[in-house]
Chains A and B, each alone.
Chain A
Amino acid sequence: MAVQKYSKVEPEENVRVSVKINGRVYAETVEARMLLIDFIRDVAKLKGSKIGCDTTSCGACTVIVNGRSVKSCTMFAFEADGAEILTVEGLSADDKLHPLQEAFWNNHALQCGYCTAGMLMSAYYLLKKNPHPTEEEIRKGLAGNICRCTGYINIIKAVKEAASKGASA
């Protein structure tokens, strides 16, 4: 049986990627292998999101893509083409910290700060889905984010405080 030729799908080594990050459009032709975190940091020049473990474990690179938290080190930039992305830089508005950021500050929920952007984005996603989580739900929601300084207690306190102040709104 003759197999039909499907030549209209061509391989691309370089891909045009256009994404809206924190309300602004960034478009660039990049290598297919470029990771989303590298697009965010090196193309859009938004350095808030961090690369920690680089092996899908630590969550420092967590951003919101089309309403869902993802590890941007484990997604190709071309997969985000056409997406709306929120990074930590997009949390605050009019020079005013987001209630989650305020709560992290109030509760000493960071020391070195390297995990903080990812923690904030995971906490943001959690409160969007579940505005009043139990402590157990907060722990489960942040299970994909590793902090090597504070030991999590203050981070959990901060998320609780932010939730009690209606941070999901």
Chain B
Amino acid sequence: MRPASFSVFRPLSLKEAVGVLSENDDAKVLAGGQSLIPMMKLRVFSPPKLVSLQRVKEIQPSISDEGNYISINSLTTYEDIAHNSDVRQKLPALAKAAGEVADQQIRNRGTIGGNVCHGDSAANLGVTLLALGATLVIEGVRGERKAGIDGFHTGPFSVALEHDEVVKRFEVPYDNSSKQTFMKISKTATTWPMASVAVNISVSGSTVAKARIALGVAGPTVLRAHRAEAYLEGKSLSADVVAKAAELAVDGLNPPSDIHADSEYRAHLLKVLTRRSLESLGV
């Protein structure tokens, strides 16, 4: 299987990249290509033009600790993120999620920008960055803007990005009171997850001050479990509280059915993962 013919633009700067996009409505952005290339080979998608970000200087792989957030450029690979010492120490859920994307070869090529902008509700990093409350820094022909990740995922494989915009970097906040993890269940490394969950709680004394819980493959996009989050605030994570929060996380949820799991089973797995995730935080 080979992709249909296309022509490629290879800009060297973000300004060139967004300029090319603004002038070519039929162009598609190529980052690490680990989702786009298989789709093009299967001819699910045959864009006549690609804009390869590979040489764009401002978004080359880079991770830096900015004091209260970690800044991650959009071409940074899963492998870079999984092994970065700042990420492992301050954003352990993100390190775990990146280290569990597909397999080694895909982690060596796939990027954080591609993962999030592809808009797959099963994407490890999409789920985790939602729980961590990341901010996206986006470049367009009209300049730079920032957007919170809440609301960035607008539908299946759809994100709130204009055609002539490119995500430059992610700013992922951290603080010492945060406890967080990511868990997923999938049959093999490269198959789509049956369910995934990222949990991020701020602890004050022995109670939860603030909670963010994000669910993967739970609906058309990555979703937050708002009712479970609200329920947890001000409570200690006793077995009963954790069980109730897990129930609330999936109450009214209608996850998709596919070859990997049907809707009912998927809802059950999401509940189990939410419970296990909260238990693992040991509060």
Binding site for B on A (CB under 8 A): 1, 3-6, 8-13, 15, 31-33, 35, 38, 54-57, 59, 62, 68-71, 73-76, 78-79, 122, 125-126, 140-141, 143-145
Size class of B's contact patch? 35 or more
A141 and B104 form a contact (CB under 8 A) = yes
Bound form: Cα–Cα A56–B33 in Å: 11
Q: In residues 2-23 of chain B, which contact A (Cβ within 8 Å)?
A: 2-11, 15-16, 19-20, 22-23
Q: In residues 92-107 of chain B, which contact A (Cβ within 8 Å)?
A: 102-106
B257: chain A residues within 8 A (beta carbon) = none
Q: Determine how close the nearest CB of chain B comes to the CB of A18; give it in whole angstroms.
A: 14
A33 and B3 form a contact (CB under 8 A) = yes
A143 and B9 form a contact (CB under 8 A) = no
A144 and B23 form a contact (CB under 8 A) = no
Q: Does B238 contact A (CB under 8 A)?
A: no
A33 and B188 form a contact (CB under 8 A) = no
A144 and B5 form a contact (CB under 8 A) = no
12 contacts between A and B (CB under 8 A): A3-B141, A11-B8, A33-B2, A33-B5, A55-B38, A59-B103, A68-B108, A70-B108, A74-B34, A75-B37, A122-B104, A144-B105
Q: In residues 24-40 of chain B, which contact A (Cβ within 8 Å)?
A: 24, 33-34, 37-38, 40
Known contacts: A56-B38, A57-B190. The answer to whether A15 contacts B1 by CB under 8 A is no
User: Known pairs A33-B5, A35-B2. 13 more at Cβ < 8 A?
Assistant: A3-B141, A4-B19, A12-B7, A12-B10, A32-B6, A32-B50, A68-B109, A76-B37, A122-B105, A140-B189, A143-B103, A144-B103, A144-B189
B41: chain A residues within 8 A (beta carbon) = 54-55, 73
A13 and B5 form a contact (CB under 8 A) = yes
A68: chain B residues within 8 A (beta carbon) = 79, 108-109
Closest A residue to B189 by CB, please name it: A143
B108 and A69 form a contact (CB under 8 A) = yes
A73: chain B residues within 8 A (beta carbon) = 41
